[in-house]
Amino acid sequence: MKPSWTKFLPRWEVLAFLAIALFPAFCALVRSVFPVQSTWGNLFGSKLTDLLIYAILALGLNVAVGYTGLLQLGIAAFFGIGVYITGILTVNSYPFQVGFFVSLLSATLGAALFGLILGAPTLRLRGDYLAIVTLGFGEVVKVTLRNLEEITKGTKGLNPIPPPHLPDWLAVVAGWFGFSNKWDLDYRLFFYLSLFILAIVVLLLKNLEHSKLGRSWVAIREDELAASCMGVNVPRAKLAAFAVSAGLAGLAGCLYATKLTNTADPNAYDFNRSIIMLCCIILGGLASIRGTLLGVFLLLGFEYIVSPQIDSWIQDSGILDSAVQWAKSVSPDSNQLANAFARLLTFSNWKFMIFGLALVLMMRFRPEGLLPSSRIQQELRH
């Protein structure tokens, strides 16, 4: 039994949220002590903002895969749909130019609508069959976005997507805290916007977990036939799971496109992105909000922050240059050997092998994930 005083301590999730929220203040402190590192905070703050956006995307996938047990491999397609809805509604080449907040709502609802369109004909599918259909849907969306050049500009993408416009009173409040109203120069505006939206999504999903709909999702995941016999409207619950999952992906897509200021190449929303998101929730723990967030920060933090930083250290240390020079001095076929050294000493080239090894070890020693839900943990240990 825990001591009574422990109930006054905040949960570690709250502490983690506060630590992330205080990151810009920490950067300002570092800049004051080490002025030469003036770009350090902007670089890591921008990367951290990306992780917050991907956390929303992973939470959306967790609704379908974790809560409901629907193996969804096309989450990147809904992410891309949210990106392109945002692009079409905001860039100058189209007459709409509705602004950020309307495009945020439109991308969420538009992606949710596509989720319903995909979910309706696949209600009877489960497991591998559903995975194949959603994978195919993702490829169809990617190819369609690439080939509709008159609308999507093909591989060039739509740009420039304008930044959000703050109301005058909010811009004044932001100015009191030293924030400029230039979104492209000050990462903190988008950082706090993404963090605020992520907190709303977490609260929404926390409430959904304990609602009638959330319990229906869990019942379908455990035994669809038994859930149906107990009065759960299985088709309606599955469609709701598809819609919520896709809607959150569209929401993340709108944030991603606005931060990037363009829609990027349609190939960016392919099967690989869906698999990375799936790996995040498997690593963190299925059906667990805190596990999903942890999985995103570990896996994507490693890919976008740790891995490039290690490559930078290797480059700055001169190890790579020394190895290439040595290869050129000892081998007649120097270019081939030098290229081999360059590939071997680039840490980013090893990241997918490390991802795969981590997942194999997880499946062997902790298949429920690092922070699974209590129900999943009990199921996998009995």
Name the token pair of 21: 């929220």
pTM of the model: 0.90
Indicate the DSSP class of residue 95: S
Residue type, 103: S
Burial of 47 (0-12, 13-18, 19+ CB in 10 A): middle
Q: What is the pLDDT of residue 247?
A: 97
**Spatial distance between the Cα atoms of 331 and 348, rounded to a whole number of angstroms:** 26
271-293: string of b/e by CB count within 10 Å (b at 16+)? eebbebbbbbbbbbbbbbbbbbb
Average pLDDT over residues 128-157: 91
How far is it, in rounded angstroms, from Cα 131 to Cα 142? Answer: 17
Task: Read off the pLDDT of residues 279-304 as tens digits, 9 standing for 90 and up.
Answer: 999 999 888 998 999 999 999 999 88
Instruction: Give the per-residue pLDDT at 296.
Output: 94
Beta carbons of 330 and 247 less than 8 angstroms apart: no
Residues 6+ apart with CB under 8 A from 311: 346, 347, 348
Between CA 82 and CA 110 the distance in angstroms is 7
Mind listing the pLDDT tens digit for each residue in 1-54?
455 545 544 566 777 888 888 888 887 777 777 765 556 667 888 899 999 999
Q: For residue 261, what pLDDT band results from cuts at 50, 70 and 90?
A: very high
Phi, psi of 329 (to 5 degrees): -85, -25
Average pLDDT, the chain: 86
Q: What b/e sequence results for 119-139 when a residue is b if at least 16 CB atoms lie within 10 Å of its CB, and e otherwise?
A: beebeebeeeebbebbbebbe
What is the distance between the alpha carbons of residues 34 and 39, in angstroms, rounded to a whole number?
11
The band of 100, judged by pLDDT with boundaries at 50, 70 and 90, is: very high
Tokens 């469609």 belong to which residue? 239
With contact defined as beta carbons under 8 Å apart, do 79 and 252 qualify? yes
Mean pLDDT of 191-200: 94
Highest mean predicted confidence (pLDDT) among 75-89, 270-284, 363-377: 75-89
pLDDT at 359: 82
Q: What is the pLDDT of residue 161?
A: 94
Tell me the range of 57-71, 158-172, 334-348, 367-381 where mean pLDDT is highest: 57-71
H or E element that contains 173: helix 168-176
The answer to whether residue 173 scores a pLDDT higher than 70 is yes
Query: From CA 160, how far away is CA 96, in angstroms rounded?
Result: 14
Q: For residues 311, 313, 315 and 319, what is the CA-based torsion angle, rounded to 10 degrees?
A: -110
Alpha-helix runs per DSSP H in 210-270:
212-222, 224-229, 234-260
How confident is the model over 318-339, as pLDDT tens digits? Answer: 777 787 777 777 766 667 777 7
Cα 318 from Cα 55, distance rounded (Å): 36
Q: Which two tokens stand for residue 248?
A: 């959150």
- The tokens for 123 are 């209600």
Map residue 228 onto helix, strand or coil. Answer: helix
Q: What is the DSSP letter of 162?
A: P
Per-residue model confidence (pLDDT) at position 4? 53
Question: Residue 151 to residues 91, 142, 277: CA-CA distances in angstroms?
Answer: 12, 14, 28
Q: What's the Cα-to-Cα distance from 42 to each of 34, 46, 190, rounded to whole Å?
A: 14, 6, 12
